[in-house]
Structure 1
């Protein structure tokens, strides 16, 4: 699944890409894919990522690409700047993914005009060093 890339000067917070529990998420983002972790034994979605499957107790898991589309569940616009790395305004959005029972958090620049259920698609914010973080944009 490929999405749009948005080159940015710097990401406000750089993720730890070599973390055992979340590294696959960021490796997929570098490829332009949105991925979530699933149990290799029973196929259960493991979101948030965890070492052991809560459905079957299995200890093996894998990262699988999931659709990069969703719908707005909730949002808030941040207007008070608390750190120089986070210029305001920006809108924090909670997205229900399509075809998967999972929600992801992201942000939209500025004061976004949103509605519950509004369609969004993944956008990848890529820093100069290649670090890439999935985010969201409103579908036209």
Structure 2
């Protein structure tokens, strides 16, 4: 029997509610600044690049590449944690799932998937493309 890793539910704050509501619908949202045009993640009320408060939620493509990763082999249930650079530009921390840990590589294309959390919204994770 293969153990499945349990994912802790995120804390949903007012600033991130739209993000988690969209995740519950199977969509990944990122913020984009109306002034400088840059996308950013983690969601916040002001653009971290230019300081503008004119930021909007935009749906991300769900495509990205692995920027960096670590394989946690000594965990009760081994897992892969990674920084994934989205096609839209921002880099987010996530998990790589449904992958051979020995085959994962920096620069590898990945696609979005959602995994259930314990008692909360599903979490965005990535799988090799």
Partner of residue 58, structure 2: 64
Q: How much is the aligned-residue C-alpha RMSD, in angstroms? A: 2.6
TM-score w.r.t. length of structure 1: 0.72
What does residue range 1-140 of structure 1 map to in structure 2 within 5 Å?
11-17=6-12, 19-81=13-75, 87-98=76-87, 100-109=88-97, 112=101, 113-127=103-117, 131-139=121-129
Secondary structure of the equivalent of 2:18?
helix
Contact persistence 2:42–2:92 (CA under 8 A) = no
Residues matched between the structures, number: 124
Cα distance in 2 between the residues matched to 1:75 and 1:127? 21
**SS of structure 1 residue aligned to 2:22:** helix
Structure 2 equivalent of residue 3 of structure 1: none
SS of equivalent to 1:13: coil
Matching residue of 1:4: none
Q: Which consecutive residues of structure 2, in runs of 5 or more, have no partner in the other structure?
A: none
Structure-2-length-normalised TM-score: 0.78
Shift of residue 54 of structure 1? Answer: 4.1
